[in-house]
Structure 1
Amino acid sequence: MLRKLTFVLTLLVSLFGTPTFAQVNLKDLREKPDSKIVNADTIKENAIKQINVPIPKLGLEVNYWKHWTKFGLNANQASFSDNWNAGGVNSMSLMGLFWHKADYTRDRFNFVSELDLKYGKIQNKDQLAKKNNDRIFWDNKLSHKFSEKWALYFSFTFESQFDVGYKYGKVDGEDAIIDTISAFMAPGYFTESFGLEYKPDKTFSLRIGTGTARQTLILDNRIAPKEGGSAVYGVEPGENFRNDLAFQITANLDRDLSKNLNLKARYNLFADYKKLSDPDNRLDLTLTAKITKLVNVTANGILVYDSDQSGKVQYNQGLALGILFSLPR
């Protein structure tokens, strides 16, 4: 019993008696914070100076313009020996083309300018050289989107041709020119249109021009209508200018059918408000098959109905092998 009592007393003394080493060390660490007053001059001398860290300019600029260019040469050739019994005529045709499209898109505004130039001739044996293609087409469109697929647009278009167009016939059994039927700016067309544009994707667009004006000019006296004669391209005798107000529909398609096959089409309906039942129609189709990066085969066709030119449908069709350069590649 005495032994147990001694052990308890010893334990109590060790717990509540003199402070432990750990307790003394903690007490020594509890010091009051330094309360020295720093001199204001010392602050100025030791003040932190502002450092300007140079930040390199990345030189990044947003380019809202996109450009595409195509130019090339198409050719067709056929030759036969003098004793070729199956029949045929030696022929050679060449056609040069240039196409450029510029697109500016920023927020809801879009501007597109498209220039399409073509000129070609064909020469058959014992015949005069004749044009097989001649076109100047320049279309400009400014639009503002008010929804995902619809926009208000204004467009300006110019159309004409480079060279004189002739009517051919036979004189003393030989091929000869018997009349001049067209030339540069004879006719020439300027068209201004305002309306709605539907564009569900980048490959197709449909313009509905409720307010459209077209000016027809004939500036070549060889083609201009003479006094007492009939109208030429809708221009009355003694005049060289005509203005029409009309309703217009223009559809454009530029779509890759496969990796190396592209279809481009443009349809235009122009209905003069004075004769809505007899609208002008034009359809241009171009199918291009790429064989290599430079060589391609092109099939194109044109359908035109314009009662001011002819009471029947006019058509043009061609198939050619050519070299085409595309930028950017």
Structure 2
Amino acid sequence: MRLLTSFFFALLLCSYAQAQVTSKDSLWIHQGSFAANFSNVSLHNWAAGGQNSLSLGTVVSLSSSRESETTLWNNKLDFAYGLIRQGESAFRTRKTDDQLILASDYGYKINDRWSVLAGTQVRTQMDVGYEYFKEGTSDEEQRRKISAFMAPGYVMVNLTAQYKYKNLLSLAVSPVSNRITFVLDDDLAAAGAFGVTPGEKSRYELGVTLRKTLEFKVMENTTFKSDLNMFSSYKTLDKWVVNWGTLLMMKVNKYITTNFGTQLIYDPDVDVPKDDGTTGKGVQFKHVLNLGLALTY
């Protein structure tokens, strides 16, 4: 875990904001963006009320691609992590954002717009996640572990037909899609979290994946990205797992950037904690706004 954390911190230091690097002698194109934000609120004898808080967040998006007349190879890393320390509760430091996506696809071009690809994708988070709650009439806050590194972790292995229009839009269908759900945390595996059989640490499904990726410049220094993934097992084609993320990135000047991201998840095999205190099937949604430092080289 420490090795992985050190690796991704190294990536943060080496990443670059809104840059594109290529050379005359290479078919490789490297792109990336990095944003970090920090905020602090300190109150003393403040009549209007409020809480002291300290927060830190990072968003990294890196890609590396190689395209020749007949082949293409795309690699991607998306990483986001955020923490907040607030108030005087028993659990002052809490995670606000945590996502890690690694993807690689290699294939052959049929023509300028159609390709056949074989690829893999890994989705997980780096840190432990908790649900915070109070029981009965007690004012004492408690917490329950609901996620960890590779719990869940999703590994997809796909054979894909892809349609791509310039660098704006790509549509893909994977009729042979292998989805493996990992729950490597012992406590969560014993509870049968994320659809695995209680006591087991993985679940294998064969199905179909649909994907839509859209990326374009809204205006100068402003880019919008949307990535929609849908998966259904051949055993239950009436149930779909949906994961839809968007990211709006704005470069204010040479040193300052801001970005606004959303993520919507629905998994019919996963029970989620709801606002009314119950647990059951439901749509997960989050949004994250970051304003901070941009690094370029």
Same fold, TM-score > 0.5, yes or no = yes
Aligned to 1:98: 60
Over the aligned positions, Cα root-mean-square deviation in angstroms equals: 1.9
Deviation at 1:200, TM superposition (A): 0.9
Matched, 1:274 2:240: no
Please give the alpha-carbon distance, in whole angstroms, between the structure 2 residues aligned to 1:312 and 1:81: 40
Paired with 2:215 and 2:296, the residues of 1 have a C-alpha distance of 15
Shift in Å at residue 206 of structure 1?
A: 1.3
Following superposition, the deviation at residue 70 of structure 1 comes to 2.6
Structure number with higher relative contact order (C-alpha < 8 Å, ≥ 6 residues apart): 2
- Is 1:151 aligned to residue 121 of structure 2? no
SS in 1 for 2:151: coil
C-alpha distance in structure 1 between counterparts of 2:258 and 2:24, whole Å: 39
Provide the rounded CA distance (Å) in 1 between the counterparts of 2:289 and 2:62: 22
**Any idea what SS the aligned residue of 1:223 has?**
helix
CA distance in 2, matches of 1:116, 1:65: 19
- Write the deviation string for residues 158-179 of structure 1: whole angstroms up to 9, x where unpaired: 11111111121237524332x1
- What is the identity, as a one-letter code, of the residue corresponding to 2:97? N
Aligned to 1:18: none
Aligned length: 262
Aligned residue for 1:307, secondary structure, equals: coil
Q: Which residue of 2 aligns with 1:112?
A: 74
Cα distance in structure 2, aligned partners of 1:203 and 1:75: 32
1:124 positional shift: 1.7
How far apart in 2 are the matches of 1:204 and 1:224? 38
Residue number in structure 2 paired with 1:286: 247
Question: TM-score, normalised to structure 2's length?
Answer: 0.83
The answer as to 2:147 corresponding to 1:182 is: yes
Give the C-alpha shift of residue 81 in structure 1.
4.7
Counterpart Cα distance in 1 of 2:237 and 2:139: 45
1:74 alignment counterpart: 37
Structure 2 counterpart of 1:305: 266
Distance in 2 (alpha carbons) for counterparts of 1:88 and 1:301: 27
Could you tell me which of 240, 251, 258 is aligned with 2:219? Answer: 258
8 Å contact 2:107–2:115 — kept in the other structure?
Answer: yes
Q: Distance in 2 between matches of 1:106 and 1:147?
A: 12
8 Å contact kept, 2:35–2:257: no
Aligned to 1:130: 94
Residue pairs, 1:1-329, within 5 angstroms: 62-85=25-48, 87-127=49-89, 128-170=92-134, 172-177=138-143, 179-226=144-191, 231-310=192-271, 311-326=281-296
Q: Could you say which structure has the larger radius of gyration?
A: 1
Q: 2:28 corresponds to which letter in structure 1?
A: W
Q: Shift of the alpha carbon at 1:292?
A: 0.6
CA contact (8 A) 1:76 1:321 kept: no
Residue identity (%): 28
| Matched-pair contact (CA < 8 Å) for 2:57–2:290 | no
Matched position secondary structure for 1:224 = helix
SS at match of 1:66: strand
CA-CA distance at 1:251 after TM superposition: 1.3
Q: Given the two structures, how large is their TM-score scaled by the length of structure 1?
A: 0.75
> Do the aligned partners of 1:137 and 1:159 also contact (CA within 8 Å) in 2?
yes
SS of the residue corresponding to residue 233 of structure 1 reads helix
The answer to whether the 8 A contact 1:248-1:269 is kept is: yes
Query: Which one has a larger percent strand, Structure 1 or Structure 2?
Result: 2
Gaps of 5+ in 2: 1-22, 272-280
Q: Report deviation, 1:61.
A: 6.6
Query: Does the 8 Å CA contact 1:225/1:235 hold for their aligned counterparts?
Result: no
- CA distance in structure 2 between the partners assigned to 1:323 and 1:184 by the alignment: 27
